[in-house]
Structure 1
Amino acid sequence: MAGTEHLSVRREGATLVLTLNRPEAKNALSLPMLVGLYDGWLAADEDDTIRSVVLTGAGGCFCAGMDLKALAGKGMEGEQYRDRMTADPDLHWKAMLRHHRPRKPVVAAVEGHCVAGGTEILQGTDIRIAGAGATFGLFEVRRGLFPIGGSTVRLPRQIARTHALEMLLTGRPYSAAEAAGIGLIGRVVPDGTALEEALAVAERINACGPLAVEAVKASVYETAEMTETEGLAAELKRGWPVFATDDAKEGARAFAEQRPPVYRRA
């Protein structure tokens, strides 16, 4: 896939790297970016040679949220993509991972600003790594807006409610250390190394059985709101078929033969 003028795409082995690429505007969301993101998620879902996705931003910044100038009626770049939005009015929510969950694991590599819509997209990712100088926060209430990208629902399910409400109701910025302390991100690394670390995590994922990885991810999310009894039953339905795959047999053989496994999604 080619990406768009505000969304760069490249392959690193079995990893698809999606880069928010509008650094002059701190990677604020635009039509070309949203269309590119959505196409990227679809490409990852449909291409079985892709085993993981890394989402990052260009120019030392992740994403500063929605383009407020466009929201104020000054026009948004990329009007040539308007027909895509017309054809699928839900496209922007899918792009922002509000109404779409990719099959493959998504690792976020954050540097610089990851605020407002950036923090909302972040909540749709699976593993989150940030440079020490990264900044997080949901600033919408400070501007009289509502964080409608899913944060009032997702954030209290991902971090303690008291932390979620403080972030949502004060609109204040959070450092990377604070974000890690409340569980919004998983790991803080030296500035400028988040992408390198994210690619290393993705490579470790890629070395695992893809059918097992996808089943594990699906199970975690689909059982999140179930009772323990319901969740354990659902886990068995997801998990037992994995044991019957050729990949499972290959994993055992490779272990016994002390060699790297060669998985074939079978």
Structure 2
Amino acid sequence: MTEGTETQAVRIEEHDGGICVITINRPHARNAVDGATAHALAAAIDDLEARDDLVVGILTGADGVFSAGMDLKAFARGDTPVVEGRGFGGITRTDIKTPLIAAVEGYALGGGTEMALACDMIVAARDAAFGQTEVHYGIVPPEGGMVRLPERIPRNIALELLLTGDPLPAARAEQLGLVNHLTEPGQALTRALELARRIARNAPLAVTAVKRVLNERTALRDLDALHEQDRYVTPVLASMDAREGARAFAEKRSPRWQGR
């Protein structure tokens, strides 16, 4: 490791060989993302993209948890983890040219799963879990869950997960092809670094070209699909049920749905 910087919400470490590790650093909130964190992540991605000496990025979470997704307490106060034009966490609607690996420990829930889906590869600990839990809180996963998950795993299984909000264990995710590599608990970042080094030792122009071609085939189409879905999703996110779900979470009670 050559150097590191840290903000309140995001920690950045540069490793030899052109590898940058971006860590969501809010363990007190299970690395849930609020507005400040989203903007810090967007700035970290911008720096990764602007640097010719950085070849691969890794996104992870501090203290054994990837991310609990949206900070519902902040959302209930009117704070949003979405950066305009960039999506959730400043990542999910961004066309990122640098290969990005998600290193997942613990769980990636809601927007946490969507950030992992926005990455090109996923390394996960065996006891990790993914989950699009938004339906529990009166909202839907608008930042990639409904678009990218059915492209990564069979549609019927994706639909079950989206409609129930049930977790997807990492071992099952690996069987379905969502996870590239499974590791023992606590080893996801180590394995992600090994993968990143295997990528970074190759010619940077070739690496960038491969990523750009695949973006043209998949990621850019995903962005179009995300924009198209907004006409269905926007009314849900603005509904009374959405606010009730966040309030119920903050107040530790069962939500009282009204269907409006």
Kept in 2: contact 1:62–1:111 (CA 8 A): yes
How far apart are the structure 2 equivalents of 1:158 and 1:221? 15
Structure-to-structure mapping, 1:223-234, within 5 angstroms: 223-224=217-218
Residues in 2 aligned to 1:173 and 1:156: alpha-carbon distance in whole angstroms: 15
SS of residue in 2 equivalent to 1:101: coil
* TM-score of the two chains, using structure 2 as the length reference: 0.78
Which of the numbers 175, 180, 183 marks the counterpart of 2:174?
Answer: 180
Name the structure 2 match of 1:26.
30
Which of the numbers 10, 14, 31 marks the counterpart of 2:13?
10
Q: Residue 4 of structure 1 contacts residue 32 of structure 1 at CA under 8 Å; is this kept in 2?
A: no
SS at match of 1:120: helix
Aligned to 2:120: 126
Q: Which residue of 1 aligns with 2:200?
A: 206
CA deviation after TM superposition for structure 1 residue 168, in Å? 0.7
8 Å contact from structure 1 (residues 110, 134) kept in 2: yes
The structure whose RCO (Cα within 8 Å, separation 6+) is larger is: 2
Per the alignment, do residues 61 and 159 of structure 1 end up closer, same or farther by CA in structure 2, a change over 3 Å counting? same
What SS is found at the alignment partner of 2:21?
strand
Q: Distance in 2 between matches of 1:190 and 1:58?
A: 17
Q: SS in structure 1 opposite 2:84?
A: coil
Q: C-alpha root-mean-square deviation of aligned residues, in Å?
A: 2.2
Structure 1: which amino acid aligns with 2:147?
A: V
Cα offsets for 1:147-199 (capped at 9, x unmatched): 11121111112221112111111100111111112222112110000000000
Partner of 1:61: 65
Measured in 2, the distance between the counterparts of 1:104 and 1:47 equals 10
Whether the aligned pair in 2 keeps the contact of 1:44 and 1:102 (CA below 8 Å) is: no
**Counterparts of 2:181 and 2:92, CA distance in 1:** 23
Partner SS state of residue 54, structure 1: strand
- How many Å separate the matches in 2 of 1:34 and 1:224? 24
Looking at CA atoms only, which structure, 1 or 2, has the larger radius of gyration? 1
| 1:219 and 2:250 aligned | no
| Cα gap change, 1:116 to 1:209, in 2 (>3 Å) | same
Structure 1 stretches (4+) deviating beyond 2 angstroms?
1-4, 88-91, 94-98, 223-226
Q: Does 1:109 align with 2:114?
A: no
* Number of aligned residue pairs: 216
